[in-house]
Each structure stands twice: as structure tokens, then as C-alpha cells.
Amino acid sequence: MVAAHMSLADLRKDYCLAGLAEKDLSRDPFRQFEKWFQEAEAAKTIEPNAMTLCTATREGRPSARTVLLKGVDGRGFVFFTNYSSRKGRELELSPYVSLVFPWLALERQVIVEGTATKVSREESEAYFHSRPLPSQLSAWASPQSSIVSGRRALDEAMKEVERKYAGQVVPVPPHWGGYRVNPETVEFWQGRRSRLHDRLRYRRESDGGWVIERLAP
């Protein structure tokens, strides 16, 4: 609970770093994303590839968590996970997702809405074998999103897979791989004074092109 002497209203900040005009945008949302991502890196934002991933059950019950972006190109935004995890199970039921990149130090966020599909097995294998060995092993040791008896159970499972694959190439678990989010909209949000923020959204049209729209804050 927030301490009685603290007021959340006192945390209010007016945003004044920059504005965002239509003329400043690339015609392609992926190029615009790359530009902002590079600026987030240059500003030494902590894990600029961290993004909130929102999924939902078939009944519409949402869930959210932070995952890491591991690739982006004209086809979409890529992340990797355990297919048996909660997000994996929900994506089997409904492929519709939202991503949020919160670059708070720059008073910016990017919001992506679209559909997620599994990447090819070859793509998952290539990324899996680029990971540090402990991360490869933990993909086998952790039954992600399942209830476990305690930390000791996880540590013992990790020791077991370390023994099992000692001196070997660790295979990719059948329950592990990537998803690519193909966007239908990509919104670039820039904080402005008096909460009159700039919100410019790319929306994909039926011919595959993009239209840029300004949204009221």
C-alpha cells in the first residue's frame, strides 16, 4: 500500500522532450520503429527490446507479461517462448495480440496490434543455438507457467539437464520456439505538455499498404 504521506498526484510529470509530426514519419512503420529503436539504444534505455505482450483467452480474459523482442523486419516482430506456457496456450486459442514498447526516458511508447503465428522450426533452432548454454538448458528444466513445489525443484531440474546434456549439443525442446507478430496497426506515441500527446498510427489497408492517422490523446 502506498504510504499515507505520499500522493500519487505528486508524481505527475509534464512531458516536454519532443513532438511528433506527420511530416517526420517514414512511410513504412518498420523503418520508423527502427529509427526510434536506435534512438532508445543511443539513450541507453535499459533493455530497449523489452515489450509487454498481451494475449487473451477465447472468452476474452486478458493476460500480460514482459518478453524480449528478438527480431523485426517487414514481416513482423519476433519473440521466443515455451509453447506450453500460458501465453503459448492462449495464442493457440486466439492469435490476436498487442505489444507495448515503453521507452519512458524518451517519453515514448510504441503500440503494436496484430496476429501471432509460429516461426519456422529452422528459425527457432537457429535462435535457440545462439543462446548461452544455461539459457538453452533452462528451456528444458522449466515447465513454464506450471505450479512447482519450490525453488529447489527448479534447481534440481536444472542439475538434471546439465548432467543429461553434458558435453553435447543441446537439442531444441519440442515445446519451445518463436512467434512472429504481423501488425495490423503500429502506433507511435510521443508525450507532450498538458497531456496533449502526439499519437500517430499506421493502419494496414487491404492492399497491404499503410495509412497514417492521428489519434486524439
Binding site members for FMN = 65-70, 80-81, 86-87, 109, 144-145, 189, 199
CA angle 45, 48, 54 (to 5 degrees): 135
Q: Are strands 76-82 and 96-103 parallel, antiparallel or unpaired?
A: unpaired
Which residues are known catalytic residues? 195
DSSP assignment of 45-73: -SSTTEEEEEEE-TT--EEEEEEE--EEE
CA 11 to mean position of chain CA atoms? 27
Binding annotation: 12-15, 65-70, 80-81, 86-87, 109, 127, 131, 135, 144-145, 189, 195-197, 199
What is d(CA 89, CA 86) in angstroms, rounded to the nearest whole number? 5
DSSP letter (8 states) at residue 27: S
DSSP letter (8 states) at residue 120: P
3-state SS, 171-195, equals CCCCCEEEEEEEEEEEEEEECCHHH
Is residue 161 within 8 A of residue 141, CB to CB? The reply is yes
Exposed, middle or buried: residue 21 (CB in 10 Å: 0-12, 13-18, 19+)? exposed
Binding annotation for substrate: 12-15, 70, 127, 131, 135, 195-197
What is d(CA 18, CA 168) in angstroms, rounded to the nearest whole number? 52
Q: Distances in Å between the alpha carbon of 106 and those of 13, 21, 79?
A: 13, 16, 24
